[in-house]
Amino acid sequence: MGNSDLPNVNPEHFVSPTTAQVFADKPSTHAPRILLLYGSLRARSFSRLAVEEAARLLEAMGAETRIFDPRGLPLADAEDASHPKVQELRSLTEWSEGMVWCSPERHGAMTGIMKTQIDWIPLSIGGMRPTQGKTLAVMQVCGGSQSFNAVNQLRVLGRWMRMVTIPNQSSVPKAFMEFDDNDRMKPSPYYNRIVDVMEELVKFTLLIRDRSDYLTDRYSERVESAEEVSKRVNQRSM
């Protein structure tokens, strides 16, 4: 157990595969599966319109998309997890390989609707971590001048959910001026940024999805698993 330089760890649980081993498997060929969440229930929700533009772009780039409608989703813990909308959200989460989260900024923060959706996605479901190793792109729409409060908060949540949050992000100020009467986003640098973000999300998803198990494999969890196995063996032998 351990050595003089590492007295508190067990090197038997270290994993150091070569690059060739990590990239040995044939990559998946199906379309990247992306789930998009938005944070408003308004009839003309600009976060929903931004997500719809993002979904069009993703599909043009070869991805398969699903947009979750949060209408009818109860507050976290207000209903049992068997609620149909909760089950729908969790099923889509497990289906996805990447996500887009887009929230309006309200009172300097993401909306409660956005947070409720994320709160209904647990860190584990039946021993599976439904978000760990998936990619994430964050976006926000603003009613006034440009801000990054909501996307900064979404980044914190993405990190907490053990997601690979891509570097690029989108913030659309005065969103009511950026969409036409047909609810399509007008050409602008803000639209181009959304294109950039979706392109980067597809790239990261393709790079990571077949290697997420390796990238999220943790020493502490391997030690814990080994200890549980050892405990079960000892109990059988008693």
Backbone angles phi, psi at 105, to 5 degrees: -95, 125
- Within 8 A by CB and 6+ apart from 117, the residues are 37, 39, 68, 70, 73, 89
**pLDDT in tens for each of the 238 residues of the chain?**
445 677 777 777 776 666 666 666 678 889 999 999 999 999 999 999 999 999 999 999 999 999 999 999 999 999 999 999 999 999 999 999 999 999 999 999 999 999 999 999 987 766 567 898 999 999 999 999 999 999 999 999 999 999 999 999 999 999 999 999 999 999 999 999 999 999 999 999 999 988 888 888 888 888 888 888 878 878 787 7
- pLDDT for residue 198: 96
- pLDDT for residue 123: 77
- Within 8 A by CB and 6+ apart from 191, the residues are 53, 178, 185
Q: Does the domain spanning 30-237 belong to CATH 3.40.50.360? A: yes
- Within 8 A by CB and 6+ apart from 55, the residues are 34, 36, 65, 67
- pLDDT for residue 21: 65
- pLDDT for residue 187: 95
